[in-house]
Structure 1
Amino acid sequence: MENERINLSSKETILMVYQGDITTFGADALVNSSNEDLNHCEGIAAALSQAGGPDVQLEIDSLRKRKGQIPIGEVVVTIGGNLPCKRLLHAVGPVAGKAAGKERVLLERTVRRALNLAELMKFKSIAMPCIGSGVFGIPVIVCSDAIVCAVKEFCSQGGKSLKTISLIDDRGEVVRAMQEAFSKK
């Protein structure tokens, strides 16, 4: 697994960028790139749901019945099941071509909400994929830049329980794009 450690601030929040499988990555919270229906039949969402086991899917089904569609930019929480995490955060990102050109803004909001929720839950570590860059069809560069912007803004606020933010993807070109986004900001 390739990784790069980037110190984001004097507050000791560390960003790690990894190439690997998020379903085997250990963190207090794992972020799932979800759709509004919490229908996890493709991509990272399907992999996390399957690896989490039937209890995760039961909780997702219950959430879907209670809440209906989850608005873009929102994040809901379930158990982690068999995943190496305390909680699974289902972050609802935009779909390319369906966000009236506001994909980047919506992605930033989604990432901020996931980070703030993890902070509220007093987690020390979080791992997230390059939300929106897979089956949602948003260009990797847009996703990477949005995630980096949101993470840097979050870290600049100081006083955080989150000490490690890990960005992870199994595609080398996505990992490089996330690393480059930090280098140019």
Structure 2
Amino acid sequence: MANNGHSSLPYLMETSNSPRTTSISVTQEKIGVCGFSSVVADVAGKLRGYLDNKKPETVDVSLKPVQEVEFVASCMNLSEVPKIKALGVTILPCKTLGSPCLKITAASNTIKEAVDAVKQQVSTITTERYTYSKAGESKVLEKNQADLQAKFKDLGCKLYLSPVITHCQKYRYNIEGCVTLIVGQGNISQHAADALICPLSSSLSFDTPIAKQFLQIGGPDIRKVFDKFLKERQTLQPGDVVLSNPGTLGAQHLIYAVLPVWGKDTSTLRNINLQSTVQDSLLKADIKKCVSIWMPAMGCDTFGFPVTESCAAVIKGVLGFIKQKPQHLRNIFVIDSDAKIVGEIQSAIEGEGYRRQQITNKTATGTTLTAPSAATAPHNTHPPPPLVAKPGADIKVIISGVSVFLKKGDITKETVDVIVNSNNHHLNLNCF
């Protein structure tokens, strides 16, 4: 804007009938006009009118899936399109799952033209989906994912490979009548929530699968909090918790939790550190007046904790948090993309003596759980009573990651790989 102001000052001077003794000085903070009062008033009025037209405005251009925003950011280079470049437009991709968009910023007198130009460019984006369900296909694609993505980029395209989730499970537990612990399947980095927990090792490197997902969706801003630590060669230890800018994640707050690694510390110390990390993360969320918080299976996978040890530490962390008498946080979500781990977490929590209150099953390809927002989530309320299955409805439970269905019907009419039939000791099929 300063450059535009410099180029227009001679024109403003000429049209103001100002004598040559009038001077105009420009700094980053202000524009100064010095001269006779009548001339200063004339020039100042024209400057205000000009600057009002040059005030930056921001408009969101909505896109459908987050993938379209990522495609624009990595493949289209809209800022270099001649028409858009001439308008001095700034384009910021926003990858929030609930409302992915491009934030277009331009001068108020050109913002409409800039938005129209951007919309014209993104209207050409096309998305196609293909399902590969034959034996071995998904493994081959996963193995060659990097090469495939490089070839697609050369063609001006972007390739995404994602597993198809056919069932979304949710298990709800009432913890001491104070908070509700919900366990479910999904991608934690793509959820809209009041707060998200991202686990990191003490190296502060985003080298775990979950951390990479957070960085990809949240953008580089989410790692700026560690710049000071790295610059001053400071380190964080297992058990430390850091609040961060959420970037373009679908959350109001991002909390980094530094986790211990199974096998590196004594069993007592690592369990205490994991418990402390959970408790302190919840306390930070409550201080920020969050109603809901989402975390992965803390300590599992990359960090090596068995699911039972992880769940025991999480439960102790939640109980320690409850002892602090929280005022706002009521819903704690534990999310993992692996249905087997979700089932193991469910079994481990129930092994701790907590009874499942509700099971929600939805047959929906690729759907994920949605957290209640801070504005709509109930405060100081107990979870609803367990749902009773409707007559004739299918019942599903998960035992060690294996789905077991109880269904009413004629077994001879079912399309399955194997049917197990009962018989009597005479083997005459006369069982009924």
The TM-score normalised by the length of structure 1 is 0.90
Q: 1:1-185, aligned counterparts within 5 Å?
A: 1-11=168-178, 13-66=179-232, 68-101=234-267, 102-155=269-322, 157-185=324-352
Identify unmatched segments of 5+ residues in structure 1.
Answer: none
Alignment deviations for residues 102-154 of structure 1 (CA, whole Å, 9 cap, x no partner): 32222111111111111122211111111211211122221122112222332
TM superposition shift of 1:178: 2.1
Cα distance, 1:66 vs. partner? 4.9
Summarize deviations over 1:66-101 as a string: whole Å, max 9, x none.
572111101001111111111111101101111122
Change (3 A) 1:10 1:96: closer
Task: Please give the secondary structure, in 2, of the residue aligned with 1:17.
Answer: strand
Q: Name the SS of the counterpart of 1:117 in structure 2.
A: helix
Separation in 2, partners of 1:8, 1:14: 6
State the partner residue of 2:20.
none
User: Could you say if the C-alpha distance between residues 65 and 28 of structure 1 is closer, same or farther in structure 2, counting changes exceeding 3 Å?
Assistant: farther
Q: Distance in 1 between matches of 2:345 and 2:316?
A: 11
Which amino acid in the other structure matches residue 79 of structure 1? N
Q: Indicate the SS of the match to 2:273.
A: helix
Asked whether the 8 Å contact 2:229–2:235 carries over to 1, the reply is no
Cα 1:4–1:71 change in 2 (3 A) is: same
Q: Are 2:283 and 2:326, in contact at CA under 8 Å, matched by a contact in 1?
A: no
SS at match of 1:36: coil
Contact 1:17 1:168 in 2 (8 A): yes
Contact 1:9 1:156 in 2 (8 A): no
Residues 1:80 and 1:148: Cα distance change in structure 2 (over 3 Å): same
Q: Which runs of 5+ in 2 are unaligned?
A: 1-167, 353-432
One-letter identity of the residue aligned with 1:183: E
The count of corresponding residues between Structure 1 and Structure 2 is 184
State how far apart, in whole Å, the 2-side matches of 1:90 and 1:76 are. Answer: 5
The answer to whether the Cα contact below 8 Å between 1:37 and 1:68 also exists between their aligned partners in 2 is no
Change (3 A) 1:136 1:23: same
Tell me the secondary structure at the aligned position of residue 178 of structure 1. helix
TM-score with structure 2 length normalisation?
Answer: 0.40
Q: Is the Cα contact below 8 Å between 1:37 and 1:64 reproduced in 2?
A: no
Contact 2:219–2:247 (Cα < 8 Å) also in 1: yes
Q: Which moved more, 1:172-181 or 1:126-135?
A: 172-181
Kept in 2, the 8 Å contact 1:72–1:92? The answer is yes
Partner Cα distance (1:112, 1:15) in 2? 14
Larger RCO (alpha carbons 8 Å, 6+ apart): 1
Distance 1:153 1:57, change over 3 A: closer
Cα contact 1:103–1:138 (8 A) shared by 2: no
Q: Is the 8 A contact 2:275 2:317 kept in 1?
A: yes
Question: Residue 96 of structure 1 aligns to a residue in which SS?
Answer: coil
* Partner-residue secondary structure (3-state), 1:15: strand
